[in-house]
């Protein structure tokens, strides 16, 4: 059996070649337990040599940083528009929905063609400004402190509105989707508001391009098991799809 230094060197050599590692594969290759491998990965992460992920490790930093909304809007723009188009098709006649904040849900707002009368509650100023131009859409803009980086409100003020309503769907944008840690955003106050939106909604639909998977933001919104449907693009891995579907979550890929 090889010693710990040799194991660590093997892991580092392998991750340089493959970028991502799987705990179970390392167990087989090194003939050690998963407990041993997880300890190895933690020690290597503590030395800033890799980042641990759900079931493995990666060279890419999984932690998200807060970026201005006008900068994020240009990232994965084509994928976000396709995600928004599919999400818009889920809106029903005379529906009442909640749209959270983010560039993926902004793409949704741009794709909406109302069927009958549509009521939308939103925390995002840019979403509200997009929808106010559309016929047969009643927009309820939540009040609060406006975050310049996301064009979204935070704070205690929206609680009164959300505690008095119940909508058929919440369309939720996130900064990170981690199978272990859950859904996250870069701001704790925004995460709290998102949880209140979840409580006011029958169905939770997450719009997230594939770059969001395996990432963690500062503010935890909820566990992955609390959502009903994820719409994403073809960059998502089959392993992640299988894990999500195993939790009973519908996965739609554009």
Above 90 in pLDDT, residue 60? no
Q: Cα–Cα distance between 97 and 195 in angstroms, integer?
A: 15
Residue 69 clears pLDDT 70, i.e. is over it: no
Using pLDDT thresholds of 50, 70 and 90, give the confidence band for residue 53.
Answer: confident
What is the domain partition of the chain in residue ranges? 4-58, 69-253
What integer pLDDT is reported at residue 157 of this predicted model? 85
Phi, psi at residue 240, to the nearest 5°?
-70, -40
3-class secondary structure, 111: helix
What is the distance between the alpha carbons of residues 30 and 206, in angstroms, rounded to a whole number? 38
Cα separation, 243 vs 208, whole angstroms:
16
Gap between the Cα atoms of 141 and 144, Å rounded? 10
The domain defined by 4-58 folds into Arc Repressor Mutant, subunit A (1.10.10)
Q: pTM of the full predicted structure?
A: 0.78
Residue 224's alpha-carbon distances to 174, 180, 227, 250, in angstroms, are 12, 8, 6, 12
Q: How far apart are CA 167 and CA 217, in angstroms?
A: 26
Which CATH number is 69-253's, of 3.40.50.300, 3.40.50.1360, 3.40.50.880, 1.10.10.10? 3.40.50.1360
Kindly indicate the confidence band of residue 31, based on its pLDDT and cuts at 50, 70 and 90: very high
Provide the 3-class DSSP secondary structure of residue 145: strand
Do 184 and 221 contact (CB within 8 A), yes or no? yes
Is the pLDDT at 229 greater than 80? The verdict is yes
- pLDDT digit string, tens, across residues 120-149: 999 999 999 999 999 999 999 999 888 887
| 81-99 pLDDT per residue, tens | 999 999 999 999 999 999 9
What pLDDT was estimated at residue 1?
Answer: 67
Does residue 148 or residue 6 have the better pLDDT? Answer: 6
Tokens matching residue 212: 């969001």
Angstrom distance (rounded) from CA 199 to CA 167: 10
The region of weakest confidence among 67-71, 107-111, 194-198, 250-254 is: 67-71
Report the chain's mean pLDDT, rounded to a whole number. Answer: 92
Handedness of CA 101, 102, 105, 110 (dihedral sign): positive
Q: Please, are residues 124 and 103 in contact by the beta-carbon 8 Å criterion? A: no
| Predicted pLDDT of residue 71 | 64
Q: Determine the pLDDT at residue 73.
A: 62
> Distance between CA atoms of 139 and 188, rounded to whole angstroms?
25
More confident call, 53 vs 179: 179
Instruction: At 116, give phi and psi (nearest 5°).
Output: 70, -145
Q: Would you state the structure tokens that stand for residue 106, as one six-digit string?
A: 């902004």
């Amino acid at each position: 059996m090889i010693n710990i230094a040799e194991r660590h060197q093997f892991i580092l050599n392998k991750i340089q070649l493959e970028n991502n590692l799987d705990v179970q594969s390392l167990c087989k290759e090194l003939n050690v337990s998963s407990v041993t491998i997880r300890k190895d990965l933690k020690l290597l992460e503590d030395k800033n040599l890799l980042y641990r992920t759900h079931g493995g490790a990666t060279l890419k930093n999984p932690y998200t940083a807060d970026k201005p909304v006008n900068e994020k809007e240009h990232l994965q723009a084509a994928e976000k528009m396709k995600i928004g188009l599919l999400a818009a098709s889920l809106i029903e006649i005379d529906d009442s929905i909640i749209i959270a904040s983010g560039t993926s849900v902004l793409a949704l707002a741009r794709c909406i063609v109302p069927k009958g009368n549509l009521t939308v509650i939103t925390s995002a100023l840019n979403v509200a400004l997009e929808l106010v131009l559309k016929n047969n859409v009643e927009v309820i803009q939540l009040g609060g402190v406006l975050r310049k980086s996301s064009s979204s409100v935070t704070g205690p003020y929206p609680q009164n509105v959300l505690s008095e309503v119940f909508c058929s769907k919440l369309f939720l944008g996130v900064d990170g989707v981690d199978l272990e840690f859950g859904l996250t955003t870069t701001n704790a106050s925004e995460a709290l508001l998102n949880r209140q939106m979840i409580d006011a909604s029958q169905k939770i639909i997450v719009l997230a391009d594939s770059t969001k998977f395996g990432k963690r933001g500062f503010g935890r919104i909820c566990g992955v098991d609390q959502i009903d449907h994820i719409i994403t693009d073809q960059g998502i891995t089959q392993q992640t799809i299988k894990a999500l579907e195993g939790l009973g979550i519908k996965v739609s890929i554009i």
